[in-house]
Structure 1
Amino acid sequence: SEKRPKHCKTQYSLTRAQRVRAAMFPETLVEGEAAMAVQSPPSQPSNVQRLAEPSQLLKTAIVHLINYQDDAELATRAVPELTKLLADDDPVVVNKAAMIVNQLTRKEASRRVLVQSSSMVAAVVRAMTTAVDMETARCAASVLHSLSHQREGLNAIFKSGGIPALVRMLSSPVESVLFYAITTLHNLLLHQEGAKMAVRLADGLQRMVPLLKKSNPKFLAITTDCLQLLSYGNQESKLIILANGGPEGLVFIMRNYNYEKLLWTTSRVLKVLSVCPSNKPAIVESGGMQSLGQHLTGSSQRLIQNCLWTLRNLSDAATKQEGLDGLLQILVTQLGSDDVNMLTCATGILSNLTCNNSRNKTLVTQFGGVESLIHAVLRAGEKEDVAEPAVCALRHLTSRHQDAELAQNAVRLHYGVPAVVKLLGQPHYWPVVKATVGLIRNLALCPANQAPLREAGAIPRLVNLLLKAHQDTQRHASSAQQTYQVPDGVRMEEIVEGCTGALHILARDPINRGEIASMQTIPLFVQLLYSYVENVKRVSAGVLCELALDKQSAELIDAEGASAPLMELLHSNNEGIATYAAAVLFRISEDKSSDYRKRVSVELTHSLFKHDPAAWEMVSISIHLWLSRLSAYTINMFHLFRHNL
């Protein structure tokens, strides 16, 4: 009770300056003194209390400034001596000097002083290279690692020959040295001009690729990022990675790790390598398609995007790969995405994987791929990067596999016919047009699709395209130019062949046949019999074969002078061409004189037995009777008969 009044008395006897000092700088109180108790409520602090915290911050800043200055002065005085000690012949001296320098780099002020001394940085590099003990190498590598976080430090390391030295450290058995070396090199590759070339010249890639066998995910993430920085845009680097087993190591990481950053950096390297013709098959053979596919359902969008682009690049080399069932199902699901990049990749991959692979075609059809692809086409609009691969995939699904007819029907049932035909309209992006023409041909193979295709306006669009493409080929053929620009990589001869082939299948329907003939197409088809492209001859003979079933069209074909080229085509080595030519000749000779029919009979007989004169003599009498029963409907029998002979 006596102490309390005394204490209060002491408080009140303090001057105002002393009370302010006690509140703002309590550490300055003399031992035995007590800070004045707070008398105002917490919600309404006094002015002195408001100033207390900023005052403490100011004091701390001043202390730091004093210490910073002290650190800088200390380092400035120590650098010359430490530089000499790092070059000493005694390994123990070098070790102690390296340890001191390493300590100095932990403070910003002294680190800045060290960076400004090129002789010091060079001495550290030399000490790291010549170190006979691992501790010296570790300290020196740690110093360079610390310096590499500043632009001046990166430049100093680069100019001091630090890159070759750091590359050599990548063979160190000490994990910490490895970490410092790869991290410092990573910083150099990111921010120092000329570092990439220096690392390549120092055989950095040859040292980095084997590091993919390490197990630390964070270390691997830095290593793979270095590989990406070195290989991007540099074909030689890609080949070095391949020669050192890079694809296998990268695929192994994608298959066995779940650290997102590592998976992302690894997928970036694979994306770069996937455009290299040499690396592509190596990645596929290492199981790259399956390993990348397993990350398409994760939560990391950046990883999914990289995996999709890489898969798209690889997919044309993976058409014979097995075990892609799961990937195909995921891709069909992703066709429902609103992301254009995802849609572009998914359609592109499906287009490639269904090319000449009947199993994949069947699987995608069974997974509902036809409907999803049609919806993708509808959403694509004028986005050619989506429309072209989507239509190509549909073209593949509607041909040559056990469920092809199911796919042909599915396009119609999911209202895809009008959308497909619409793609033939202006403006023409020729890769899309080429794919669409092929798809229409496949759809026409299904009798139930013939009327919907006609109603959607497929025939006039195909005829107009055919005329345009043929005019282009004629113009280029007659011009003096030796070469001409191929629009979007598609030759007009391909469009001529595709349109004629589609019209050939459409002409199997009597109504379609009449519409095709009514558009004055017969003169053009006859002209195409003279084409230098064998496939164009085949499809033009094929469409004439169908049109000739109508007597009026047969007369028009004859009036256009088709007999001469057809007689010539009878002797073609191409079975299809000769067979179609024979059928057309028979149809147009039905109303001719007996002499003309006899001449045709002789030509046909010679064509059939040109390789077997004895057989020709044996059947020359009966062949005319056989030919009199020949019609366009028995064309396949004729083909088999001729082939078997």
Structure 2
Amino acid sequence: MGLSLTKAAQWTTASSGTGKLEFTPMNESLLKEILCFVEQFSSQHPQEAEHVFEEPLQWRTTLVASDFKTDDSAVQSHEKDSEGLPLLQFSPPAVYVRSFSQLSKLVHLADDKKLEEVRTCLEGKKVSLNPTAVKNEVELLKQLCSEGEKRALKSLRYTSDFEFSNGCRTPLWRQPHGEICYLVIEPCDTETLYITYSTAGVFLNEGIKQEGEESGYERTSDVYTDLVTLLKSRSPHFNTGTSVPVELESSTDSEEEEEQPARHPEGNTDLPPEYWQIQKLVKYLKASDQKATVLTLYAMMDLNLMQETCQLAIRDLGGLEILLNLLDTKEVRCKIGSLKILRKISHNMQISRTIVDMRGLQRMVTTLDSPNKDLKALSAETIANVARFHRARKIVRNLDGIKKLVKLLDCGTPNLAQVSANQEKDVEVARCGVLALWSCSKSCKNKEAIRKAGGIPLLGRLLKSPHANMLIPVVGTLQECSSEESYRVTIQTEGMIKDLVKNLRSDNDELQMHCASAIFKCAEEKETRDLVRKYKGLQQLVSLLGKADNKQLLAAATGAIWKCSISTDNVAEYKHNALQTLVGLLTDQPEEVLVNVAGALGEFAQIPANKPTIGKCGGIKPLVNLLIGTNQALLVNVTKALGACATDKDNMTIIQQLDGVRLVWSLLKKPSPDVQSSAAWALCPCIENAKDAGEMVRSLVGGLELILNLLKSTNNEVLASICAAIAKIARDEENLAVLTDHGVIPLLTKLTDTTDDRLRHHLAEAIYYCCMWGNNRESFGEAQAVAPLVRFLKSKDTAVHLSTAKALYQLSWVPNNVITMYERGVVKVSCSVVVAAFLSPH
């Protein structure tokens, strides 16, 4: 049937199956034949009709809700598959069908529109919107929301910041309708658009502006295949004056799940000789006996199976299905021959996806239980190649494949440095098992499954191996899993840090890279940082910086140095050349390296002696130059480093000369709370140590208004950092007057109900300095700031006590404030006692 559509069907475009079916007698005949086949399938093959498709058949149906004899806009069948998904789901205008039985029923409902429905099904493109694809498209479009005339959109935001585990941002009761998220988009040339993203496509709604609204969900426009198409239809500016990112123009499909196989020309002139050899061998496989099958498999192995032409030829000529079917036989030689071929051709991602579609993973996981060690090793290695995308990894887990793979790691060899001939196969089985676990470990659920199956101690045992081909997948799996805290703690307690440090001295760059990456992630824990120092790993990490041409290794090494330098004891261990080398890496490097280098310099600068060294090595200028970037993690680390360096007078002079303070201040406009808070913290030492700081702050047009506006943030870290900055700014009388005129007192007062001690400390400090102008003390009292401040004294944080006492001391100059303090249980003591108790150095 598929061949008929490809060869005989007449389409309106040159690319078969991508256009519309022409209204010709040939097409009419084909449609009737297909319709007859579908209608009769359930009665002629009732058992097969109940078989659930691997992927649902999806198209934009001509049916409406009334055809299903219901008033509901969405319809789904009572019958469901093993995962609880309905076998038929109607979510206008899309329909999803998962079995021939349901397809027959749907065609029956179409009544006099049966042929039209079949035509639509064949013509229709697959509805492929999913949360991952949606998120990718939205993130790319956000790049077009910039400042200036060249921007394509003014703003784009989700109505809800909360994301469910399935990736949706819509209420639970809307998700059965296929709705993924709602957007509010402000174009440059037309009114605000309220948009629904659903599995069926993208369309305008009645105006959902924020999370929790109970109305506004109805569709008010046509359904578009993607957001770019909708925007082009609604905004002439977006359509004509915008350079849309290539990623958006090409496809919004999830790269991981929706990658489509490449099409190859039908002509025979360009096919290489290997193609015809494979065609003959596949024919032999189809018709030969057991012995001939084995010989044919070995003949196929002699071909260059790493060549894409050969790989795709095996698939296209039906050889892949035969190879997978051989795994169901009892003949071990046939299974081994098949797996040796599958192991090679599965390096091709298209082949891997086809293997999954043909239920090949199920057969491979079953083979892991075989007593034959060669079969187990080959199956595990092939699984390692196939499990490179989410759906494959999930299938392995659901089939208990993780437990079976972990079981392979127990090779029963206490000394991996001295392996007997009999033990070599056991070690090879373990190596292949680790390769498969490495691929599977990219899924969070699989990481947990590996841990529960007892994989960590077994990986630790294999970490003693002297062979790089074993160590690379072992360390690769460990570093992949180290993103989970439970793994980091276990790696440290199981004594693996010593082995990771030892392998940093390997001659193998890939092994060094994975070891450094594992240390990078594990060094989040203080105990791990101490162990790296104990086992002399710090200087070894610095020595890896000499391999600057290997960017992956460089990123891993700089990351490990950064995290290890969080402990000041480690910073003291690094030699002077480490700092110079790091500064030299601030230019002409990938962002991943720059993030880590800036992070490391920020930690190095916590030691006073290192601050002038960074300046003398020329580190300030490249740090300031990085402030104009867009990478949030980089901006956070750069501002932290500059803030730490700014306490050195010479460094601060350079920062001012390079206009660095203005650049840091401008980061307060960024939408990221992390960037905002990091920039505000960096401004504090800059203001404190700048020459003529008051005038410098006043020269920043709109700077004080920007600071005050951030007092409306809902992020406590942003609020604390802004309060700290206000405490520095308010030391200048003119700036304090401007802050007062712009309403700093009510804004600070609104924050006094906080229970966050870090915010309390800096808020009280800001109030203390803001009291020193005009009638501000009285204004704080009138704004009801005194009583909440008294409650700050109940905190267990001594820093909060100190700053609060200072603020209350200033406020106590106003009699009404003293009365409030007394009513709240504060006994006013003499100024000298307050000064002695709280303002003396601690």
TM-score scaled by length of structure 1: 0.60
Structure 1 residue 610, shift from structure 2 partner:
8.2
Aligned position for 1:292: 459
Match of 2:483, SS?
helix
Amino acid at match of 1:407: N
**C-alpha separation in 1, matches of 2:434 and 2:491:** 19
Match of 1:434, SS?
helix
**C-alpha separation in 2, matches of 1:268 and 1:440:** 36
Aligned position for 1:584: 728
Aligned position for 2:218: none
Structure 1 residue 293, shift from structure 2 partner:
4.0
TM-score scaled by length of structure 2: 0.47
**C-alpha separation in 2, matches of 1:118 and 1:315:** 48
Aligned position for 1:47: none
Structure 1 residue 212, shift from structure 2 partner:
2.7
Match of 1:336, SS?
coil
**C-alpha separation in 2, matches of 1:565 and 1:310:** 46
Amino acid at match of 2:552: D
**C-alpha separation in 1, matches of 2:447 and 2:771:** 64
Aligned position for 2:699: 560
**C-alpha separation in 1, matches of 2:591 and 2:282:** 63
Aligned position for 1:251: 406
Structure 1 residue 588, shift from structure 2 partner:
0.9
Structure 1 residue 421, shift from structure 2 partner:
1.0
Q: Deviations over 1:596-633 (max 9, x none)?
A: 812555677789938849989x9998434799xx9xxx
- Is 1:507 aligned with 2:646? yes
**C-alpha separation in 2, matches of 1:465 and 1:253:** 48
**C-alpha separation in 1, matches of 2:505 and 2:284:** 62
Conserved 8 A contact 1:182-1:222: no
Greater shift in the superposed pair: 570-579 or 235-244 = 570-579
* Alignment match of 2:373 (pick from 207, 211, 217): 217
- Is 1:303 aligned with 2:462? no
Structure 1 residue 381, shift from structure 2 partner:
1.7
- Is 1:436 aligned with 2:603? no
- Is 1:516 aligned with 2:655? yes
**C-alpha separation in 2, matches of 1:336 and 1:297:** 14
Match of 1:597, SS?
coil
Structure 1 residue 207, shift from structure 2 partner:
4.2
Amino acid at match of 2:532: V
Match of 2:465, SS?
coil
Aligned position for 2:521: 352
Aligned position for 2:498: 329
Amino acid at match of 2:518: I
* Alignment match of 1:409 (pick from 572, 579, 584): 572
Conserved 8 A contact 1:570-1:582: no
Conserved 8 A contact 1:570-1:607: no
| Residue 291 to residue 118, structure 1, CA distance change in 2 (3 Å) | same
Aligned position for 1:370: 538
Aligned position for 1:381: 548
Amino acid at match of 2:440: L
More RCO (CA 8 Å, sep 6+): 1
Match of 2:586, SS?
coil
Match of 1:447, SS?
coil
Structure 1 residue 447, shift from structure 2 partner:
2.0
Q: Deviations over 1:142-177 (max 9, x none)?
A: 67545644449999x9889966764443xxxxxxx4
* Alignment match of 2:438 (pick from 271, 276, 279): 271
Aligned position for 1:338: 507
- Is 1:598 aligned with 2:774? yes
| Residue 182 to residue 433, structure 1, CA distance change in 2 (3 Å) | same
Match of 1:294, SS?
helix
Aligned position for 1:19: none
| Residue 607 to residue 448, structure 1, CA distance change in 2 (3 Å) | farther
**C-alpha separation in 2, matches of 1:295 and 1:359:** 23
Structure 1 residue 508, shift from structure 2 partner:
2.6
Aligned pairs for 1:42-53 (under 5 A) are: none
Structure 1 residue 416, shift from structure 2 partner:
0.8
**C-alpha separation in 2, matches of 1:433 and 1:163:** 47
Conserved 8 A contact 2:668-2:706: yes
Conserved 8 A contact 1:351-1:396: yes
Structure 1 residue 414, shift from structure 2 partner:
5.5
Structure 1 residue 376, shift from structure 2 partner:
1.1
Structure 1 residue 502, shift from structure 2 partner:
1.6
* Alignment match of 1:361 (pick from 520, 524, 529): 529
| Residue 585 to residue 300, structure 1, CA distance change in 2 (3 Å) | closer
Structure 1 residue 186, shift from structure 2 partner:
2.5
**C-alpha separation in 1, matches of 2:543 and 2:682:** 32
**C-alpha separation in 2, matches of 1:584 and 1:199:** 64
Q: Deviations over 1:266-285 (max 9, x none)?
A: 33323333345553442344
Structure 1 residue 417, shift from structure 2 partner:
0.7
**C-alpha separation in 2, matches of 1:195 and 1:540:** 49
Amino acid at match of 1:250: L
Q: Percent identity, aligned pairs only?
A: 18
Q: Quote the RMSD (CA, aligned, Å).
A: 4.6
Match of 1:395, SS?
helix
Amino acid at match of 2:498: Q
**C-alpha separation in 2, matches of 1:210 and 1:521:** 62
Conserved 8 A contact 2:336-2:374: no
Amino acid at match of 2:394: L
- Is 1:262 aligned with 2:429? yes
* Structure with a larger share of its residues in strand: 2
Aligned position for 2:626: 465
| Residue 550 to residue 198, structure 1, CA distance change in 2 (3 Å) | closer
**C-alpha separation in 1, matches of 2:434 and 2:353:** 23
Conserved 8 A contact 2:285-2:293: no
| Residue 195 to residue 543, structure 1, CA distance change in 2 (3 Å) | closer
**C-alpha separation in 1, matches of 2:712 and 2:488:** 41
**C-alpha separation in 2, matches of 1:384 and 1:620:** 52
**C-alpha separation in 2, matches of 1:123 and 1:551:** 86
* Structure with a larger share of its residues in helix: 1
Amino acid at match of 2:774: K
Aligned position for 2:14: none
Aligned position for 1:87: none
Structure 1 residue 442, shift from structure 2 partner:
1.1
Aligned pairs for 1:194-205 (under 5 A) are: 203-205=359-361
Structure 1 residue 385, shift from structure 2 partner:
0.7
* Alignment match of 1:447 (pick from 587, 608, 611): 608
**C-alpha separation in 2, matches of 1:214 and 1:374:** 47
**C-alpha separation in 1, matches of 2:669 and 2:359:** 60
Structure 1 residue 242, shift from structure 2 partner:
1.8
- Is 1:239 aligned with 2:425? no
Structure 2 residue runs without a partner (length 5+)? 1-279, 304-313, 413-422, 738-769, 793-804, 815-830
| Residue 513 to residue 375, structure 1, CA distance change in 2 (3 Å) | same
**C-alpha separation in 1, matches of 2:731 and 2:722:** 14
Match of 1:368, SS?
coil
Greater shift in the superposed pair: 144-153 or 357-366 = 144-153
Q: Deviations over 1:507-533 (max 9, x none)?
A: 233443344334443444444445544
- Is 1:623 aligned with 2:810? yes
**C-alpha separation in 2, matches of 1:553 and 1:120:** 86
Structure 1 residue 547, shift from structure 2 partner:
3.4
Q: Deviations over 1:209-234 (max 9, x none)?
A: 244344443343344345446x2556
Larger Rg: 1
Conserved 8 A contact 2:605-2:611: yes
**C-alpha separation in 1, matches of 2:603 and 2:294:** 63
| Residue 609 to residue 215, structure 1, CA distance change in 2 (3 Å) | farther
**C-alpha separation in 1, matches of 2:481 and 2:553:** 18
Conserved 8 A contact 1:228-1:272: yes
Structure 1 residue 542, shift from structure 2 partner:
3.0
